[in-house]
Amino acid sequence: MEIKNKKLSDATFEALRKEVLATWHTGREVDLDEAFAYQRTITGDCRFADKLNKAKAERRTLIQPRAGVPVIEEHIKLMQHLEKYGEVDLLPSTIDSYTRLNRYEEAEEGIKRSILEGRALMNGLPVVNHGVFKCRQVIESVHTPIQIRHGTPDARLLAEISYAAGFTSYEGGGVSYNLPYCKNVPMEQTIWDWQYVDRLTGLYEENGITINREPYGPLTGTLVPPCISHAAAVIEAIMAAEQGCKSITVGYGQCGNMTQDVAAIRTLDELTNEYLNKYGYHDVNVTTVLHEWMGGFPEDEAKAFGVISWGAAAAAFSKATKVITKSPHEAFGIPTMEANAAGCRCSKQVVNMLYEQEYSAANLEEEMEMIKMETRSILDKCYELGNDDWALGCCRGVEAGVLDVPFAPCAVNAGLMLPARDNDGAVRIMEMGNLPFPKEVKDFHRRKMEERAAFEGRPVHFNMVVDDIYAIGKGRLVGRPQPKDDHAAGSGK
């Protein structure tokens, strides 16, 4: 399959649509005209895109958690609890792992067993199995916009049912839901399947209904340099815009160094608008999302709240349009709804406190310029490899290691680039692999890694990477080697 970044024709889309809706019996519940009519009844602050646009204009950061359980009635209780006690601005419906793999029969069994045992035996809401009309109960149970968050390579049927049910935002994309999630699914296949999702979104737009689309920003969530996630986000934004999407939220996963995180969100907004306009997409509303720390958390709840607060501060200082929150139970798995709400309130407190404050640092502009130089190098090379086609260039760029996601399970991902932190905790690139950077950028990263090595008295080595992966869970940012004798490192006793 050789794909192109070209709007799907009506005939192609309709032929595919018959196949998609036939893959599970709830597909028969989808009637586009009826779905359009229902979506038009959702107005004002209950529409995701409208609320995002308002927040961006006011330079406010909205709060949104992750959450989802398998039984509709319990999911409604969860949504209502987060709305009331979490002080959230936006709600999620996180999809279960069976649905993400299109294993609807097993999802059906999971719902039955969850009801029978009176507890959640799945890690999310199986929207496809519940269907259009049962999911509308969720939409109608709260007064807050709800987004579908998942991780599905082939999310076409899920999108059909979600949009018809009244969800007004949809996460994912052919790059960000492949490289971090899949092992053997070809890039061409996921991009093709997500062109369908984006074309469906465009069809709603053409009928006066804006559905917000959000590529998944953090990717693998492990020491991902801003330029890598930015490049993926910009490419997915361009491909979504080609299919008719008009509201796109691009994301970034917090790395932990405040200056780098602020620079990342600010440049992500700038670069996405720059490339959309450069390639002819002038009417897209771009908003941003910062994901609080995606790596290992401390088990101690008080320490976990410290990590949460730092992420909320990064979102507030960067003026991200929204922040995806974490809970103090992050080290243990799926949180209780009480713990989830507590993480939301913690984040809300921080963003409210910092709303009127501006962040400045001596090296902020330098950081921003470096991120922009790196990202443009990756994007322009991908476009060149694709012979001036973004979809083809993305596939070839990944295969060539030009767009290289660290620690990704995908077989086609080159995995040659290796990140680590510098002496200030910013994520740098230890091994360049095939990243198409100019000498100036390569020298910058090499210098930053050598500064850390000199400070720690050890060579630049893979052990730094390992140390950095576990550092925040242990109460540090940079994973410095610790003295073997902890007592000797203390008061001298």
> In this predicted model, what pLDDT tens digit does every residue of 411-451 receive, in sequence order?
999 999 999 999 999 999 999 999 999 999 999 999 999 99
Q: Which residues contact 359 (CB under 8 A, 6 or more apart)?
A: 258, 262, 317, 318
The single-letter code of the amino acid at 319 is: K
How many Å apart are CA 275 and CA 398, to the nearest integer? 19
Domains and CATH numbers, the chain: 10-353 (3.20.20.240), 416-493 (3.90.970.10)
Binned at pLDDT 50, 70 and 90, residue 486 comes out as very low
Instruction: Identify the pLDDT of residue 171.
Output: 98
Look over the chain and give the mean of its residue pLDDT values, rounded to a whole number: 96
Percentage of residues in the chain having pLDDT higher than 90: 96
> In this predicted model, what pLDDT tens digit does every residue of 455-481 receive, in sequence order?
999 999 999 999 999 999 999 999 988
By the 8 A CB rule, do 225 and 377 touch?
Answer: no
Strand partners, 223: none
- Which residue in 477, 425, 481, 470 sits closest to 296, CA to CA? 470
Strand partners, 290: 252, 323
Tokens standing for residue 412: 């086609």
> In this predicted model, what pLDDT tens digit does every residue of 387-421 receive, in sequence order?
999 999 999 999 999 999 999 999 999 999 999 99
How many Å apart are CA 233 and CA 218, to the nearest integer? 10
366 catalytic residue (yes or no): no
| Alpha carbon separation from 50 to 31, 199, 257, 422 (Å, rounded) | 25, 20, 31, 39
In this prediction the pTM is 0.95
What is the per-residue burial (b if ≥16 Cβ within 10 Å, else e) of 261-275? Answer: bbbbbbbbbbbbbbb
Residue 123, CB-side half-sphere exposure with 13 Å CA sphere? 10
Strand partners, 323: 63, 290
369 catalytic residue (yes or no): no
Q: Which of 17, 47, 66, 100 is catalytic?
A: 100
Q: Which of 160, 171, 242, 330 is catalytic?
A: 171
How many Å apart are CA 172 and CA 219, to the nearest integer? 10
**Strand 91-94 versus strand 427-431 pairing type:** unpaired
Strand partners, 64: 324
